[in-house]
Amino acid sequence: GPGHGHWSYADKDEWQLEFPFCGGQMQSPINIDTNSTIFSRELQPVVLAGYNLDPSEQLSLMNNGHTVVLRLPGSLTIASGYPQEYRAMQLHLHWGSPEGPGSEHTVDGRRYDGEIHMVYYNPSCGSIKEAMKKPGGLAVLAAFLQVGPEDNVHYQPLLEQLHEVQEEGKETTVAGFNIEGLLPANLGRYYRYSGSLTTPPCYQTVNWTVFSQTVLLSKEQISLLETTLQGDDDTDLQNNFRLTQRLHGRKVLASFQ
């Protein structure tokens, strides 16, 4: 609850008492109504640079009580798809439970099993702390996770370490791997809109990209994500998604017709 700066997905209606931006008019996530999106030929395919990390590189993986976060080197950049330069900060996941799906964005009212967020900052906005408070200071590449017929080998380096960070606050390291493999193959078909962090402090400074093509993981991999981690006071870390927010007149662009 409000007052001591700590928040949970259980009291998401009270976030705005403590974090005023959470009650703003440019909040995320949103439902993407595919009949209302506007095609924009300016939206070029997203091109990523520097993502095939050498196994000698050690990345921090941490359970921060709200999600599992993989810290990313700033050498990972978005080379195209945005007019500004963006450098990677971290990636994290959102998921549901064995009882139901847990993506943050929805498409035509459909919630997917999970969602990956790769978070970037615009270095011309200064430090990360300054960038996250400036419009366009942050960019998030989002992709939906969906149950498919077989294991997704690209997710194994992450998922096989989850048991090492089962408790809140636990941290481990993951050897460098091909981070781009965590995203869909087709980075040319996406939705773009201006929104916010989906967690307090809900800064309205995020340039969102939501890929149309989903990422397929096996049922066992999705189940591992849903049943391994613990949040506060040893409760299962599940359903770590915020409900969709009103557009308040915002337009959602599409890179495809």
Which of 87, 117 has the CB closer to ligand ETK? 117
Q: Is 66 a catalytic residue?
A: yes
Q: Does 72 bind ligand ETK (CB under 6 A)?
A: no
Residues 2-61 binding ligand ETK (CB under 6 A) are none
Which of 69, 183 has the CB closer to ligand ETK? 69
Q: Return the structure tokens found at 51.
A: 């993502």
- Strands (DSSP E) found in the chain: 31-32, 38-39, 47-49, 58-63, 68-71, 77-80, 86-95, 106-107, 110-111, 114-121, 138-147, 171-175, 190-195, 206-211, 215-217, 253-254
In this structure, are residues 171 and 60 in contact, taking their beta carbons and an 8 Å threshold? yes
Q: Does 122 bind ligand ETK (CB under 6 A)?
A: no
Other CB atoms closer than 10 Å to residue 212's CB: what's the count? Answer: 18
| Contacted entry of Zn ion, ligand ETK, none for residue 66, CB cut-off 5 to 8 Å set by kind | ligand ETK
**Shortest CB 207 distance to Zn ion, Å:** 14
Identified catalytic residue from 4, 66, 92, 163: 66
> Which residues, other chains included, contact 73 with Cβ-Cβ below 8 Å and sequence gap of 6+?
50, 53, 57, 59, 88
Tell me how far apart the alpha carbons of residues 78 and 87 are, in angstroms, rounded to a whole number.
7
Q: Does 66 bind Zn ion (CB under 5 A)?
A: no
| Contacted entry of Zn ion, ligand ETK, none for residue 64, CB cut-off 5 to 8 Å set by kind | ligand ETK
Residues 117-136 binding Zn ion (CB under 5 A) are 117
DSSP 3-state assignment of 115? Answer: strand
Which of 90, 172 has the CB closer to ligand ETK? 90
**Shortest CB 198 distance to Zn ion, Å:** 5
Residues, the chain, total?
Answer: 257
**Which residue numbers are catalytic?**
66
**Which residues bind to Zn ion, rule: CB under 5 A?**
117
**Which residues bind to ligand ETK, rule: CB under 6 A?**
64, 66-67, 69, 89-90, 92, 117, 119, 132, 140, 197-199
